[in-house]
Structure 1
Amino acid sequence: MGDKNIRVLLVSDMSKVGGTEIATYITAKVLKPCAKEVYVLGSKGPLSESIEKLGIENFDGISHTKNPIKIFKFIFKLIHLINKYEIDVIHAQMARPVPMAWLAKKISKRKRLKIFWTSRGLHHSTYKYVVPIFNKMNVRGLGNCKLEQQKLIRYGFEPLKTSYVYNAYRLNPITAPRPKLSKENITIGTLSALRQDRCVDLFLDIAKYISESSQFPHNIEFIIGGDGAYKKELESLAKKYNIEKKVKFLGNIVDVEEFMHNIDIFVSPIVVDGDSGAGISNAIVEAMLTKTPVCAYDASAIGEIVINNHTGYLVEPRNVEAMVNAIFQTIENKIQTQDYVENAFNLVIKECDPQNYAKKLILLYREL
């Protein structure tokens, strides 16, 4: 299945719990049985203990900085690790460490080392600058979905230097599913970094609409998982809407399975403009794996797995009324909803299987 001659260094931020950090943890976990060695380089953070419990060393290093001294320290750390552990592949989980990895490779003894970068979505204006440079650096670009690979090619990556790999799920598909919409109270949730670009304010717009509607029962509550700089603004907005007693902010979520078990419907409120966007959300994949019904705005590559009227509801961006109607249909048409969650579960099992993910990565490390 794997290649026991390959030593892989995964490079990420790791100072917080977000989609990139979770994807890094999953990648480390699934590669561990397949490669000779797997290491992680990134700031010590909430997931570091979980990584080390896998028997994987998490080296401390700050790449997400503009401080020149810290940048040079990170480059020297990379050079040291490359030489000491005879690294064959550096797999950057975000764009920022890529130039540092390229420079470290040039200075190190491992000239045949390959650099991979998984693109999980950049600001649309950044692609035209970053992609041509990475292509000239002979970096291999991996999209986290088909759409992301297409963007890499469109902005200048040579097609033979790119591929795509859906993020693998980390939950157990046997134990993860739970019954939904079976309790007296209904819980609608979302899980996201609380940044302005994640559009969690739209989730509050949806909560306000539902709370004021006579169409819905009064036993509906809303929960928001995740943390970030925009949290205070969102809490203020909930108060302004007079729904602060119906909305709970849970902060950072480490146990995603427990979070999904506590909700009946998962809503993805993110909306993107142009080529911005993070591909396919880990949270949507994990919702589908727990057989939680999904209602999402049509953003980025979400439509690759949220197939309207088949695996969930895919709604016109920013159309709060349409999203509310999708949620209403999810609650009212339970037989249809069950069909959708089964279809979604089967799709995720097929496209995001961890073993297939690891096999594809090892193959790409060898041949791309």
Structure 2
Amino acid sequence: MKITQIMLSKGFGGAERYFTDLSVALAERGHAVQVICHKRFQELKRLKAVPGIYTETLSVLGWWDPLAQYSIKQVVKKFSPDLIHAHLARAAYIAGKTARKFNIPLVVKTHNYVNLKYYQDVSFFIATTNDQRHYLLENDVSKDDIEVIPNFSLFPGVECIKAVNRNHIVFASYGRMVSKKGFEILLNAFQELISSGINARLMIGGDGPERKPLQRLCNRLGLDKQVTFQGWLKDVEGFLSDADIFVMPSLLEPFGIAILEAMSCGMPIITTKTKGPMEILDDNQAYFVEAGNVASLVAAMKYVVLNREEATVRAARGLDRYKNHYSGYVVIPRIEQAYRELCDVKS
């Protein structure tokens, strides 16, 4: 198939990771993939290096940008794809105009609870979770135009679970450094954990507008020797392999690709009771805490440190669930099938 993938943000969070991994996976499976992205998109170099991916870059001022709309129409017309798959509101809005003009099916991915005013002329919605599907139904999207297909990771999944280090526990967390990710809660919880006598370190990956305030908080808490900020991660698997326990402290989390990556590495997982993680995992596979509650997070971190055999069992169950439900080997064929069915309807 000839598939156009459009992502017009220039940062790199979960939606951008999904867009990049999907484009790469589709090209590796023999599809011709046109990638339309911002000229400063952080993963552009990776995309350009993949045979079968044809990149088109541009600057975009907003969903309303007439020059971007014109440019995208021109490059899509030249590529003549079987379908367009757009990611996030800006791309969805502009792709809708292009799809309507050339009568091309448009697939959109709901990476969050989207504002549907930007999602016009959409042929098919891929909802990330059942809760997002329910949201679309409540907003009058036909059930025939929605399928729940979760996010995925291209990580293969480890063969065996790594034993938790007995003497020096390393916690890991990463994501875009914005307030909703809950890193402030994590730092305060970690300080209380250290004060209780637990010998541990914390690695935090990612970047964003809250990084400097978080580093200042780390200093005020006296954690400069125990906490490292590692910036955007080029090697997530390597980062996770250096840690024992993964923590997702998000205040809001519609899915959480980082959860999948930790599952694939066979790590014990502590996560908040937010919508995405609660759909991915259950109490047999992870440890859940109240979002925004420092005491709840401290208690879970301490419990996992002191009950390592149980934590290893839960990690093994999480790894098994990842391989059966969230690996790219499982999810990508479902996306391809959705594409084929949509193109068959058009023809």
> Which residue of structure 1 lines up, in the alignment, with residue 291 of structure 2?
317
Residue 50 (structure 1) aligned with residue 34 (structure 2)? no
Paired residue for 1:101, among 66, 88, 95?
A: 95
Cα distance in 2 for partners of 1:245, 1:174 equals 30
Q: For residues 114 and 34 of structure 1, what CA distance do their matches in structure 2 show?
A: 21
Q: What letter corresponds to residue 92 of structure 1 in structure 2?
A: A
Conservation of the 8 A alpha-carbon contact between 1:211 and 1:243: no
| TM-score, structure 1 normalization | 0.86
Separation of aligned partners in 2, 1:244 and 1:228: 19
Q: 2:236 — aligned with what? A: 256
Shift in Å, 1:120: 1.3
Shift of 1:270: 0.4
The superposition leaves residues 265-284 of structure 1 with CA deviations (integer Å, 9 ceiling, x where unpaired) of: 11101013xxxx4x221111
Kindly indicate whether residue 236 of structure 2 is the aligned counterpart of residue 242 of structure 1.
no
2:106 to 115, 123, 145: 115
Q: 1:131-280 alignment to 2 at 5 Å?
A: 131=116, 134=119, 137-174=121-158, 179-182=162-165, 184-214=167-197, 216=198, 219-272=199-252, 277=253, 279-280=254-255
The Cα of 1:194 is off from its aligned counterpart by 0.5
Q: Distance in 1 between matches of 2:181 and 2:123?
A: 28
Partner of 1:289: 264
Structure 2 residue corresponding to 1:330, chosen from 289, 297, 304: 304
| Secondary structure at 1:251 match in 2 | coil
CA distance in 2 between partners of 1:36 and 1:221 (Å): 44
Matched, 1:7 2:2: yes
Shift of 1:28: 1.1
Equivalent residue number for residue 37 of structure 1:
32
Map of 1:3 onto structure 2: none
Q: CA 1:67/1:146 → structure 2, altered by over 3 Å: closer, same or farther?
A: closer
Matched residue SS, 1:97 = helix
Gaps of 5+ in 2: 343-347
Q: Tell me the residue number matched to 1:82.
A: 76
Contact in 2 for aligned 1:132/1:157 (Cα 8 Å): no
Instruction: Evaluate the alpha carbon distance shift between residue 258 and residue 315 of structure 1 in structure 2; reply closer, same or farther with a 3 A threshold.
Output: same
- The Cα shift of 1:119 comes to 1.0
1-structure distance, mates of 2:122, 2:154 = 31
* Offset, 1:7: 1.1
| CA shift for structure 1 position 118 | 0.7
Contact 1:114 1:139 in 2 (8 A): yes
Aligned mates of 2:127, 2:166 — CA distance in 1: 39
The equivalent position to 2:12 in structure 1, one of 10, 14, 17, is: 17
| Conservation of the 8 A alpha-carbon contact between 2:63 and 2:94 | no
How far apart in 2 are the matches of 1:281 and 1:313? 15
Distance 1:292 1:333, change over 3 A: same
Q: Which amino acid counterpart does residue 57 of structure 1 have in structure 2?
A: Y
User: Does 2:62 match 1:66?
Assistant: yes
- Counterpart-to-counterpart distance in 2, 1:166 and 1:67: 26
CA contact (8 A) 1:95 1:117 kept: no
RMSD value over aligned CA atoms? 2.0
Against the structure 1 CA distance between its residues 287 and 118, is the aligned structure 2 distance closer, same or farther, given a 3 Å change threshold?
A: same
Q: Per-residue deviation at 1:244?
A: 2.5
Q: Does the CA-based 8 Å contact 1:119-1:142 persist in structure 2?
A: yes
Q: Return closer, same or farther for 1:98/1:357 CA change in 2, 3 Å cut-off.
A: same
Q: For 1:145, give the aligned amino acid.
A: T
Equivalent pair of 1:34/1:358 in contact (CA under 8 Å)? no
Cα distance in 2 between the residues matched to 1:37 and 1:351: 26
Cα distance change on mapping 1:138 and 1:20 into 2, 3 Å: closer
**Is 1:360 the equivalent of 2:342?**
no
Tell me the residue number matched to 2:345: none
Is the contact made by 2:158 and 2:265 (CA closer than 8 Å) also made in structure 1?
Answer: no
- CA separation of 1:67/1:341 partners in 2, compared to 1, >3 Å: closer, same or farther? closer
Is 1:26 aligned to 2:21, yes or no? yes
Deviation at 1:10, TM superposition (A): 1.0
Identity %: 18
Q: Which amino acid aligns with 1:173?
A: G
Instruction: Report if the CA contact (8 A) 2:180-2:250 is conserved.
Output: yes
Supply the AA of the counterpart residue of 1:290. C
**Cα displacement (A) at 1:286:** 0.4
Residue deviations 1:74-109 (CA, integer Å, cap 9, x gap)? 2122112221111121111212211111112334xx
